[in-house]
């Protein structure tokens, strides 16, 4: 804890110093936005120095050797640990915390919307809560799976001892708490009411909380980019002997594709909010209509934010494919086509952004091409669905909690995908754009596609990470509860949107009262399900029954080592000799440990490149 | 086990028929008050029908997974058949989904686009200027109004949309038209109102701001009254005389 305390003190000192310095140089008030910007930059510097940056990097700059945390107890979770497993857990716990805060904001919104009129919160506060909910949940969806399980699982799945850049990895995580603090403290400066999309010119003229939002986005973006570089390098350079591209587990493929995207496009969101910040504090006029363009922001913003939905959902595909193949006891159907589809989506995702702008007034001739490209994404997505359905086909399905939630995912994401077609078609989108139909659609894709996968992953890898088993009955009840309550919450909102209810409003015409009341009650039931989720995982992590290395009898490398894994993952070098998903192929083994001395080493057998049969 | 395609196909057909039947039972859309609304609603209904077999297939496999393919007995039981892939299935899947995507791009995609954005001619031009948090209407004769938008029926009207502060969006749910109001740019939308009516008849006869524009966004709406061409001309003349 001492590092966290030191970091907090240095961050506070940095903030005060930045404010003081700015006021001393240019005068003005300590709440002026330029002072806040300087203060934030110094606070962030102080935070990183305090948390362990001095020991990890600073000492080297004066010729001494670097030191990083080597604690093995609970303290390591509050220190600058470079162990990818510690960092994975740090991400997971932090982002589940953010998910709960975002969930509480959703409950406040649904209580306000339970009946027409404005009473529980006023209209402007409602917009601020909408904005806060949006950005917190986007952060969870962007970094949840890849931050927690990408960090924890990917190095083990490829047979590496750690990530390629362990210290960079730690920096990436420790950038996240300042993001949360900046966003949650923004109400002190009036909060931000322009939505998580923060369209200019509104975001240039609203209250100063917007500055903290902008700083948080830049910080979060740095974290994403550093994480992206790290995963790309790790997967390319640190695979165990025999881990050819054709034998790479599907979750690792998905994590690699995600990282390529977050590495390539995150800077566009940062650029957009930096331009907004410059308009606010430096007197530039990027988004002022007379000399700049009010439409420009949308283009830059969506150039990141559409690919971002694939940054959210691709790791979800990876998790669900991993779970389906394990619990169906069958090879991953059409593995190569699925991998090709994942990368086709990566390519297409950067050329479809303007489908968010069909009603924006952009040039008419742009509508056709963006409609074609957007609809084209349904083809590779369909192949990934074929992979899931084909794997289920004639499988020996073992319905444990991860598979139950994966079925919820399958149902939700199918609805999310189908309703996406309505929004990709210009004719229908003109009516549906910015209505509750869109709200329902993106909750089906992002909650249905990313958060449900995060939940499924947290059960699937729980025994590996904790060495203990969660409570199966409570897990299944949660899986069914969360799926049903989720659908009851959002199905009525499709109707509301089609019938004339626009989004981001704290008040609405009486005609939509019924649908909203139903959605609000369902939302509260949905929120309550998370008490069972948290209770189950926390209780089981401490008192759950101990499990062996491989409770699911799965084949990928993380299941061939003890639960929880030893400090450097592998006590002897793994050698990959076969396909990861050759379930049902006699004598087939994914990997073994030729140097291992232990006679009961789990992975020992014939190698075979056979990955199943053509049917 | 080898014959599992039979129950899955039956389930698929059953689900698809059920979804199509359910789709046909309900009125999904609010009342259409303009010609353009019919185009949008037809497109949406077509997409709803096309999604039935897609949803049905996923539901069929999910259902039969629970009924027919579930096994008990823990992790160390036998594995499933090692089906790696099937070229015919993958190829035909690709062909069918691509064909479906191409079809949807053409109809309702491009056909709808042409019908909605294709014809630039109009009988009248009404200008609406957005600002936080109200609309100002300017009629062809220069008369202005803030409290309501009065529209002639059976006439094609071009709406010129402006904004003087932040982004807004001009949306008439009853007409299914929407276009953003952007400071510095004039955007346009077209609609032909079909019948006389007022906001009191249908809550969707309103100009609603559909782009988050600040504190008063939720209530940035203006009632619409659709009247006959003669009544409308009389109304704007009176309005001009009063100014």
Residue B201: what are its φ and ψ, rounded to 5°? -75, -40
Q: Are residues A52 and A108 in the same domain?
A: no
Residue A124 inside a domain? The answer is yes
Q: Write the secondary structure of A330-395 as one string of H (helix), E (strand) and C (coil).
A: CCCCCHHHHHHHHHHHHHHHCCCHHHHHCCCCCCHHHHHHHHHHHHHCHHHHHHHHHHHHHHHCCC
Structure tokens of A396? 């020996």
In a shared domain, residues A22 and A164:
no
Residues from chain A that touch B211, judged by Cβ atoms under 8 A, are: 199, 434
H/E stretch holding A576:
strand A575-576
Who's near B163: CB < 8 A, 6+ residues apart?
B129, B130, B131, B181, B182, B183
Q: Are residues A50 and A98 in the same domain?
A: no
**φ, ψ dihedrals at A608, nearest 5°:** -160, 135
Q: Is residue A595 part of a domain?
A: no
Let me know if residue A178 belongs to a domain: yes
Q: Give the residue from A543, A571, A589 where a domain finishes.
A: A543
A352: in domain: yes
B224 domain residue, yes or no: yes
Is-contact B137 B236, C-beta < 8 A?
A: no
Query: Residue B223 in contact with residue B146, Cβ under 8 Å?
Result: no
| A-B contacts (CB, under 8 Å) | 290
Write the CATH number for B185. Answer: 2.60.40.420
Domain end among A543, A566, A600: A543
> Which one of B57, B110, B187 has the shortest CB-CB distance to A361?
B187
Q: Which H or E run contains A186?
A: none
Please give the backbone phi and psi of residue B189, each rounded to the nearest 5 degrees, phi first.
-145, 155
A48 with A108, same domain?
A: no
A205 touches B at CB < 8 Å? yes
Instruction: Give the domain range for residue A163.
Output: 82-543
Question: Residue A10 falls within a domain, yes or no?
Answer: yes
CB contact, 8 Å: A495 with chain B? Answer: yes
Whether A361 and B167 lie within 8 Å, measured CB to CB: no
**Cα A503 from Cα A437, distance rounded (Å):** 9
Statement to judge: residues B9 and B25 lie in one domain: yes
* Residue A7 and residue A124 share a domain: no
Q: Do A418 and B75 touch (CB under 8 A)?
A: no
- Nearest chain B residue to A325 by CA: give it: B80
Considering the domain architecture, whether residues B193 and B226 belong to the same structural domain is answered as yes
The reply to whether B218 and B234 lie within a common domain is: yes
Split into its structural domains, chain A has a count of 2
Query: Looking at CA atoms only, how far is residue B51 from chain A in angstroms?
Result: 6
Question: What are residue B188's phi and psi, to 5 degrees?
Answer: -135, 150
Query: How far is it, in rounded angstroms, from Cα A52 to Cα A87?
Result: 14
* ipTM of predicted assembly, 2 dp: 0.96
Backbone angles phi, psi at B192, to 5 degrees: -120, 105
Does residue A329 belong to any structural domain of this protein?
Answer: yes
Contact across the interface for A389 and B57, Cβ inside 8 Å: yes
Same domain, A269 and A333: yes
C-beta atoms surrounding A552 within 10 Å: 20
Claim to verify: residue B191 and residue B129 sit in the same structural domain: yes
C-beta atoms of B101 and A379 within 8 A: yes
- Please judge whether A428 and B112 are an interchain contact, meaning their C-beta atoms are less than 8 angstroms apart: yes
Residues, chain A, total? 615
B55 with A414: Cβ contact below 8 A: yes
Longest dimension (CA), chain B: 88
On whether residue B189 sits in a domain, the answer given is yes
Q: Which residues of A touch B116 (CB under 8 A)?
A: 426-427, 430
pLDDT at A603: 44
Question: If you ran DSSP here, which 8-state letter would residue B180 be given?
Answer: E
pLDDT tens for chain B, residues 1 to 243: 457 789 999 999 999 999 999 999 988 899 999 998 998 999 999 999 999 999 999 999 999 999 999 987 665 678 888 888 899 999 999 999 999 999 999 988 888 888 777 667 899 999 999 999 999 999 999 999 999 999 999 999 999 999 999 999 999 999 999 999 999 999 999 999 999 999 999 999 999 999 999 999 999 999 999 999 999 999 999 999 987
- Report the candidate in A217, A414, A180 with the shortest Cα–Cα distance to residue A297: A217
Under a CB-based contact definition with an 8 Å cutoff, are residues A516 and A452 in contact?
no
Select from A19, A47, A69 the last residue of a domain: A69
CA-to-CA dists, residue A4 to A79, A80, A82, A592, B124, angstroms? 7, 9, 16, 41, 67
Residue A575 within any structural domain of the chain? no
Chain B environment of A615 (Cβ under 8 Å): 81, 83-86
Predicted confidence at residue A610, as pLDDT, reads: 64
Q: Is the Cβ–Cβ distance between B178 and B211 less than 8 Å?
A: no
Same domain, B55 and B134: no
Q: Do B109 and A427 touch (CB under 8 A)?
A: yes
With respect to residue B74, please indicate whether it lies within any of the assigned structural domains. no
B31 lies in some domain: yes
On whether both A463 and A533 belong to a single domain, the answer is yes
- Please, where are the H alpha helices in B119-228? none
Query: Among residues B30, B42, B77, which one has the least CA distance to residue B174?
Result: B30
Do B110 and B128 sit in the same domain of this protein? no
Claim to verify: residue A107 and residue A255 sit in the same structural domain: yes
> Which residues share a beta bridge with B138?
B127, B144
Residue B130: φ, ψ to 5°? -95, 140
Residue from A367, A364, A347, A345 nearest A356 by CA:
A367
User: Are residues A91 and A61 located together in one domain of the fold?
Assistant: no
Residue B200 and residue B156 share a domain: yes
B26, part of any domain: yes
Judged by CB atoms closer than 8 Å, whether chains meet at B218 and A506 is answered as yes
**B131 plus B238 within the same structural domain:** yes
Domain assignment of residue A585, yes or no? no
**Chain A residues in contact with B1 (beta carbon < 8 A):** 394
What is the bridge-based pairing of β-strands A613-614 and B83-85? parallel
Q: How far apart are CA A169 and CA B145, in angstroms?
A: 60
Residue A552 at interface with chain B, using a CB cutoff of 8 Å = yes
CA distance A202 to chain B (A): 5
Does any domain span residue B82? no
* Ranges of chain A whose pLDDT falls below 70: 597-611, 613-615
Residues B108 and B176 in one domain: no
Please report residues of A whose CB lies closer than 8 A to that of B105.
371-372, 375
Q: What's CA B57's distance to the chain center, in Å?
A: 25
The CATH number of the domain holding residue A191 is: 1.20.210.10
Clarify whether residues A169 and A56 are in a common domain: no
Could you tell me which chain B residue has the CA closest to the CA of A196? B212
Distance from CA of B139 to the nearest CA of A (A): 22
d(C-alpha B204, C-alpha A496), whole Å: 12
Q: Are residues B49 and B157 in the same domain?
A: no
- Chain A contact probe: residue of B117, B212, B215, B223 with most A CBs at under 10 A: B212
Query: Is A396 close to B86, i.e. CB distance below 8 A?
Result: no
DSSP B56-102: HHHHHHHHHHHHTSB--S-TTS-----EEE-HHHHHHHHHHHHHHHH
Q: Are residues A8 and A155 in the same domain?
A: no
Query: Would residue B145 count as lying in a domain?
Result: yes
- The alpha-carbon gap from B127 to the nearest alpha carbon of chain A, in Å, equals 15
Contact B90 A418 (CB under 8 A): no
Return phi, psi of residue B207, to 5°: -90, 115
Residue numbers of the domain that contains B35: 5-68+94-117
Overall domain count for chain B: 2
| Token pair of A439 as six digits | 């709200």
Strand partners, B224: B149
Q: B105 and B135: one domain? A: no
CA–CA gap between residue B4 and residue A606 (Å, rounded): 33
Does A426 sit within 8 Å of B112, measured CB to CB?
Answer: yes
Q: Are residues B139 and B111 in the same domain?
A: no
Q: Do A148 and A174 belong together in one domain?
A: yes
């Amino acid at each position: 804890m001492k590092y966290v305390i030191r970091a907090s003190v240095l961050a506070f000192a940095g903030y005060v110093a930045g404010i003081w310095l700015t006021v001393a140089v240019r005068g003005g008030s300590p709440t002026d936005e330029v002072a806040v910007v300087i203060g934030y930059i110094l606070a962030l510097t102080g935070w990183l120095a305090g948390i362990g940056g001095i020991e990890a990097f600073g000492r080297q700059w004066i010729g001494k050797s670097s030191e990083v945390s080597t604690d093995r107890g609970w303290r390591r979770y509050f220190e600058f640990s470079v162990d990818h497993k510690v960092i994975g857990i740090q991400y997971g716990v932090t982002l589940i915390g953010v998910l709960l805060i975002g969930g509480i904001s959703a409950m406040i919104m649904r209580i306000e919307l339970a009946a027409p009129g404005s009473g529980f919160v006023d209209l402007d506060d409602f917009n601020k809560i909408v904005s806060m909910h949006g950005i917190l949940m986007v952060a969870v969806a962007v970094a949840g799976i890849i931050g927690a399980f990408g960090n924890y699982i990917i190095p083990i799945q490829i047979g590496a001892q750690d990530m390629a850049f362990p210290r960079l990895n730690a920096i990436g995580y420790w950038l996240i708490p300042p993001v949360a603090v900046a966003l949650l403290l923004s109400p002190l400066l009036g909060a931000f009411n322009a939505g998580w999309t923060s369209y200019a010119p509104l975001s240039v003229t609203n209250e100063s909380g917007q500055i903290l939002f902008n700083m948080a986005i830049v910080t979060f973006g740095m974290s994403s980019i550093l994480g992206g570089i790290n995963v790309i390098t790790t997967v390319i350079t640190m695979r165990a002997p025999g881990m050819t591209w054709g034998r790479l587990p599907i979750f690792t493929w998905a994590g690699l594709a995600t990282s390529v995207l977050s590495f390539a496009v995150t800077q566009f969101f940062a650029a957009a909010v930096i331009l907004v910040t410059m308009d606010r504090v430096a007197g530039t006029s990027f988004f002022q209509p007379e000399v700049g363009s009010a439409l420009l922001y949308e283009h830059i913003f969506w150039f990141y934010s559409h690919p971002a939905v694939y940054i959210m959902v691709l790791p979800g595909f990876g998790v669900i494919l991993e779970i389906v193949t394990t619990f169906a006891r069958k090879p991953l159907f059409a593995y190569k086509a699925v991998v090709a589809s994942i990368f086709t989506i990566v390519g297409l995702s950067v050329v479809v952004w303007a489908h968010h702008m069909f009603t924006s007034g952009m040039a008419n001739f742009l509508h056709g091409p963006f409609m074609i490209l957007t609809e084209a994404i349904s083809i590779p997505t369909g192949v990934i669905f074929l992979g899931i359905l084909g794997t289920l086909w004639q499988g020996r399905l073992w319905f444990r909690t991860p598979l139950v939630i994966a079925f919820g995912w399958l149902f939700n994401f199918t609805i999310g995908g189908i309703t996406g077609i309505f929004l990709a078609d210009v004719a229908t989108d003109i009516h549906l754009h910015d209505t509750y139909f869109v709200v329902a659609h993106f909750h089906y894709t992002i909650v249905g596609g990313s958060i449900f996968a995060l939940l499924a992953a947290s059960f699937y890898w729980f025994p590996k990470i904790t060495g203990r088993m969660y409570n199966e009955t409570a897990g299944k009840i949660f899986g069914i509860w969360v799926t049903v309550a989720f659908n009851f919450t959002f199905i009525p909102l499709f109707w509301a949107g089609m019938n004339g209810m626009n989004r981001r409003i704290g008040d609405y015409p009486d005609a939509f009262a019924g649908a909203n009341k139903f959605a609000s009650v369902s939302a509260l039931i949905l929120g309550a399900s998370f008490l069972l989720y948290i209770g189950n995982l926390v209780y089981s992590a401490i008192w759950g029954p101990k499990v062996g290395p491989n409770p699911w009898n799965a084949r990928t490398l993380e299941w061939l080592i003890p639960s929880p894994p030893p400090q450097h993952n592998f006590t002897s070098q793994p050698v990959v000799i076969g396909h990861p998903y050759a379930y049902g192929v006699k004598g087939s083994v994914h990997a073994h440990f030729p140097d291992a001395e232990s006679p009961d080493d789990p992975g020992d057998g014939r190698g075979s490149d056979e990955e199943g049969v053509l049917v | 086990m080898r014959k599992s395609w039979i129950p899955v196909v039956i389930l698929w057909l059953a689900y698809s028929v059920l979804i199509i039947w359910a789709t046909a039972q309900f009125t999904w859309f609010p009342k259409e008050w303009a010609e353009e609304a019919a185009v949008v609603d037809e497109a949406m209904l077509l997409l709803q029908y096309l999604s039935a077999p897609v949803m049905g297939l996923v539901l069929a496999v999910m259902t039969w997974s629970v009924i027919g393919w579930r096994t008990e007995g823990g992790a160390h039981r036998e594995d499933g058949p090692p089906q790696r892939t099937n070229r015919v299935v993958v190829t035909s899947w690709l062909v069918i989904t691509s064909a479906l995507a191409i079809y949807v791009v053409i109809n309702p995609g491009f056909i709808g686009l042409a019908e909605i954005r294709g014809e630039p001619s109009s009988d009248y031009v009404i200008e609406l200027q957005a600002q936080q948090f109200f609309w100002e209407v300017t009629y062809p004769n220069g008369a202005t109004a803030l409290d309501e938008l009065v529209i002639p029926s059976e006439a094609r009207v071009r709406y010129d949309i402006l904004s003087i502060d932040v982004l807004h969006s001009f949306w008439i749910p009853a007409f299914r038209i929407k276009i953003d109001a952007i400071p510095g740019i004039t955007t346009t939308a077209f609609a032909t109102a079909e019948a006389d009516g007022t906001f009191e008849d249908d809550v969707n006869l309103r100009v609603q701001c559909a782009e988050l524009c600040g504190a008063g966004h939720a209530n940035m709406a203006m009632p619409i009254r659709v009247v006959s061409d003669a009544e409308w001309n009389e109304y704007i003349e009176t309005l001009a005389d009063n100014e």
